[in-house]
Structure 1
């Protein structure tokens, strides 16, 4: 059959007009996070949570992405981004987009959220709002608990401008010595060891319409501001203004020149604690021009690096209010359940059921899919590792750790396994950004307990999420595997959506054996039986499968791709998707964060649709579906379609062979594509429009749907 679709060879796929800027796309993702804080349908304290997440996201964005662009500008880099911008132009665009977004955030907090919080008995007051009795308490609290911790630093010819640490909250204080005419300048740092908000005792709380207050307090910087005379005895305090600095916090390690990678990372962490160059200044909008210019000059910043804040700085601290005992202002609690095939574990303390069934026997009876946070991480993945640690028939456990919690039960299980005489090998990725220090601590503890610890492959970050358990069963050795999309972290497993495959398929076990030999030794495995492994085969195979769908369409057959990921950035993948769209392939992409692909362009990408799901859980799982002319294939794994994942990281993506699990994954994709509550549709101009239910249409919210489905499958009737 001749082709009915053809690609216009005159189209230049490298043309910048076909790509969104990576950094600006990320800002649009954070705009969707902010939208959750602005949405009245979101429970009140959850809105505060999204306010905090928006701010914390920006902190990391500046510490890493903006810092990298500023380094490029300093180095004279002129290379254009995919959308045709120089580093300087990207910085200018970031400031232009972000400034009104931050203004919107702070205006909404000050003018809307604080009022709604007050109606619910939560009063975030300013010092000027306090009555005399409350002021007396606050001032005494300052004298007893805050004053001894503070250290004022003078700025004059004998005292140079002090170093301002990363993300610290500070006061710029202007004062006058009565004995001289000249004004003086000092800096007071608000130590992070102190709580950001000072809480008033119950008897001094505010009420609303006769109702007692639940919480009343004020920001600590205002407590300090109104008690500065304690710090500067005998001086006249003229004014003070809060400010906050963000610094470059990315690590730079030349692995080829580092004889001991662990030591090299530790040295870089010391540099990070001291802090890199300044990249952002947040400052009270009312600060006078002379003080403002002094701080900008001393921090070696430009005017475009400054964000004037009309209200409270550092809204990331609002996360603390989630601890208030007000369930009616939060999402309904979710208690993860067991997959139906593990129901025998419920209410059992022993490791085996009465009929001898164990976790391993369940996996022998068929592959098991776990979907977190709907399925319990502790009762599935953690139990798998823990049972292996204590099972007398288990000979070896091999595992990769990218991020884990500070009190990780995974670590404890691995240590127990080593103490029980098993061969335990753990690859700890000590280059996992912002988790380097935590990972170094656990790496050392594992080594002291007899665990073989390795730190990955030179030049590559090990991002794959895999576990291999080797077990002696009668006359044979059997290998059990876990291949996941998320980290082995029980805490984040409660708020991140991730998938994991538990299997004892021989080919997967053999593949993981080869992959661990690559990670721990000198093996340079070039092919795998089932797994798609980056940087070996994953990119080429994904490109091949996209092209296969396009070729099927050219031959008059059906072409269909559905892919879910965190980010889509890689230019080769995007160009291949464009070509597939032009060939007639119907493509649905579920991309939580960055998407550099421009959908919906007539005769170019009009067969591509992109949605983003933002809600109570962070979408983190990766799923890839290909129709393949009816011979459907579906994969899950750790890799996004980003250049770093496909070319500079060790990743593992596994095909799904179980028809039942295949159907489950199709259902997961279907639920998300049908979402009309939390889904945002990417437009061809780069904006996102949130879907809304049509008249008389049932609300379909992804996370609510999955919670209901999970309860029903476990035989639990939802409330």
Structure 2
């Protein structure tokens, strides 16, 4: 508990605040180390659970004779590096990290019932104004519901979807041989992440593997991936890791793993000035019986075994030299051995992603004007880039059929006559966070499909290093098409994005077993 004389409100922590008769404020922090919920015994078989917040409010009111209200503040998370282009950027980031704890308050999420007098006192004490106030409910930090007590009624819970062992990889003794025979697609969280861990751990000890290169954007605190890379370096492999130290809120953890890798002999490079490396790629060189073979892993999600259980993502593993040779170029850029990658298969931001997608859209426009079937289907997290949106509008006006599945930000307005009447947009929010990206273009009957790490946001197209791969394997393309079709036709969790922003469910019948995520899981059994 803090009083007015010694108030420092921690970033993103939960507090209750009350106003005393002498105008002093009392701040009470709700501990993040204990459960937010308390189960109260009942005389029957029912369950009664109460927020710790309410218990505290009751006792605080008795002690101080005033009501208390919930509040959570956010402090400025920018590190404010003076000049990224001079000096040691890594050291500058290390030195700036402690400043995040004490940054300027930029937002206060409050209980909307907080009295006006108390609100003004809070604004004064935190040195904020009305524009920094967000009015919400009585309870904040809904992520704490992950720790909600288990109740007896099984109907209240999602059905267990145990991660599946990959059909082609689960019984293979030599994972490299399986990839040599055929490209492999992993679909998370439906497929177990063990396949990725096994791939990297096998490479770390395989006597024929000579080199491992990887990009790390968000690494878990006890990362099995990073531990395998340490083992590989200890085993004499040539290990290169590009670690993005500007991945917000993961900087310290990424730096920790970078240091450990360096201590064990790995070559580690850190952030580029002015650009983030957001690609999720892995490259392995193997030489058995004087037969050198290269392998590439290209994903839509991070090398993070924890988020792989709750994010939907796709990963392609291939030994196709058309892809592996170009992935090597990306790493040569990151190693500062190459300035400009020259690729025919991969789309690489900020070099070729925007221009290639623009050409693909323009090709659909030409086809439509010739009277041929033309369509574009896109699944992304966000669609914000104005140039890409204008080009989609142009495609709409040319008669191209456009189907979008956008989970988050969508700045395109669908359903407007003369602008977007041929564009349909839906969004899915379900038990798993939709995170994969798929891009499909009709291409006159010779459909082109890609997956990768980039949304159509200006930052992803122009200010980050992203990697997008074509899907060259027909079986994998068919599999991805089926998955996408299930999502495009999700009438349970799918919401229609419209010009009025009503975002209504496509169907009000709520049989969760029929949502696309459940159907995808069943299709992979």
Do they superpose with TM above 0.5?
yes
Count of matched residue pairs: 524
8 Å CA contact 2:296, 2:317 repeated in 1: yes
* Alpha-carbon separation, structure 2, partners of 1:246 and 1:596: 26
1:365 is aligned to 181
8 Å CA contact 2:20, 2:26 repeated in 1: no
* Alpha-carbon separation, structure 1, partners of 2:348 and 2:61: 59
1:467 is aligned to 282
* Alpha-carbon separation, structure 2, partners of 1:588 and 1:198: 43
2:81 is aligned to 253
1:556 is aligned to 371
- Pairwise CA distance, 1:326: 6.1
8 Å CA contact 2:9, 2:73 repeated in 1: yes
Q: 1:105-134 deviations in whole A, cap 9, x for unaligned?
A: xxxxxxxxxxxxxxxxxxxxxxxxxxxxxx
Q: How does 1:10-89 map to 2 (within 5 A)?
A: none
8 Å CA contact 1:241, 1:283 repeated in 2: no
- Pairwise CA distance, 1:400: 0.4
Q: 1:696-717 deviations in whole A, cap 9, x for unaligned?
A: x998421011111111xxxxxx
Q: SS of the residue aligned with 1:170?
A: strand
- Pairwise CA distance, 1:585: 0.8
Q: SS of the residue aligned with 2:460?
A: helix
1:655 is aligned to 470
8 Å CA contact 1:282, 1:309 repeated in 2: yes
8 Å CA contact 2:106, 2:132 repeated in 1: no
Q: Is 1:211 the equivalent of 2:45? A: yes
- The 3 A distance-change label for structure 1 pair 698 and 556 is farther
Q: SS of the residue aligned with 1:629?
A: helix
Q: Is 1:413 the equivalent of 2:228? A: yes
Q: SS of the residue aligned with 1:342?
A: coil
Question: Hey, which of these two has a bigger chunk of strand by percent?
Answer: 2
* Alpha-carbon separation, structure 2, partners of 1:522 and 1:240: 63
Q: Is 1:302 the equivalent of 2:152? A: no
* Alpha-carbon separation, structure 1, partners of 2:192 and 2:108: 40
Stretch of structure 1 that moved more, 332-341 or 299-308: 299-308
Q: Is 1:596 the equivalent of 2:411? A: yes
Q: SS of the residue aligned with 2:305?
A: coil
Q: SS of the residue aligned with 1:441?
A: helix
- The 3 A distance-change label for structure 1 pair 470 and 254 is farther
Any unmatched runs of 5+ in structure 1? 1-150, 177-182, 230-235, 346-351, 353-357, 712-719
- Pairwise CA distance, 1:329: 2.3
Q: SS of the residue aligned with 1:398?
A: strand
8 Å CA contact 1:168, 1:189 repeated in 2: no
Q: Is 1:190 the equivalent of 2:40? A: no
1:480 is aligned to 295
Any unmatched runs of 5+ in structure 2? none
- The 3 A distance-change label for structure 1 pair 316 and 504 is closer
- Pairwise CA distance, 1:438: 1.6
Stretch of structure 1 that moved more, 383-392 or 315-324: 315-324
* Alpha-carbon separation, structure 2, partners of 1:692 and 1:408: 41
2:169 is aligned to 342
Q: SS of the residue aligned with 2:169?
A: helix
* Alpha-carbon separation, structure 1, partners of 2:42 and 2:51: 15
8 Å CA contact 2:74, 2:107 repeated in 1: yes
- The 3 A distance-change label for structure 1 pair 292 and 605 is closer
Q: SS of the residue aligned with 2:159?
A: coil
Q: SS of the residue aligned with 1:290?
A: helix
**TM-score when normalising by structure 2:** 0.93
The correspondence for 1:704, drawn from 518, 521, 524, is 518
1:263 is aligned to 91
- Pairwise CA distance, 1:295: 1.4
Question: Hey, which of these two has a bigger chunk of helix by percent?
Answer: 1
- Pairwise CA distance, 1:525: 1.9
* Alpha-carbon separation, structure 1, partners of 2:345 and 2:301: 20
Q: SS of the residue aligned with 1:256?
A: coil
8 Å CA contact 1:174, 1:238 repeated in 2: no
- Pairwise CA distance, 1:428: 0.9
1:164 is aligned to 9
* Alpha-carbon separation, structure 1, partners of 2:37 and 2:341: 59
8 Å CA contact 1:165, 1:275 repeated in 2: no
- Pairwise CA distance, 1:669: 1.8
- The 3 A distance-change label for structure 1 pair 488 and 327 is farther
- Pairwise CA distance, 1:616: 1.0
8 Å CA contact 1:195, 1:220 repeated in 2: no
Q: SS of the residue aligned with 1:490?
A: coil
- The 3 A distance-change label for structure 1 pair 316 and 335 is closer
8 Å CA contact 2:107, 2:133 repeated in 1: no
The correspondence for 2:108, drawn from 280, 285, 292, is 280
Q: 1:623-643 deviations in whole A, cap 9, x for unaligned?
A: 111111112111111111110
* Alpha-carbon separation, structure 2, partners of 1:173 and 1:685: 40
| Pair member with larger Rg | 1
8 Å CA contact 1:241, 1:284 repeated in 2: no
* Alpha-carbon separation, structure 2, partners of 1:502 and 1:195: 42
2:190 is aligned to 374
Q: How does 1:479-498 map to 2 (within 5 A)?
A: 479-498=294-313
Q: 1:23-62 deviations in whole A, cap 9, x for unaligned?
A: xxxxxxxxxxxxxxxxxxxxxxxxxxxxxxxxxxxxxxxx
* Alpha-carbon separation, structure 2, partners of 1:340 and 1:659: 17
2:160 is aligned to 333
**TM-score when normalising by structure 1:** 0.69
Q: Is 1:576 the equivalent of 2:411? A: no
- The 3 A distance-change label for structure 1 pair 316 and 258 is farther
The CA RMSD measured in Å over matched residues stands at 2.5
* Alpha-carbon separation, structure 1, partners of 2:242 and 2:414: 39
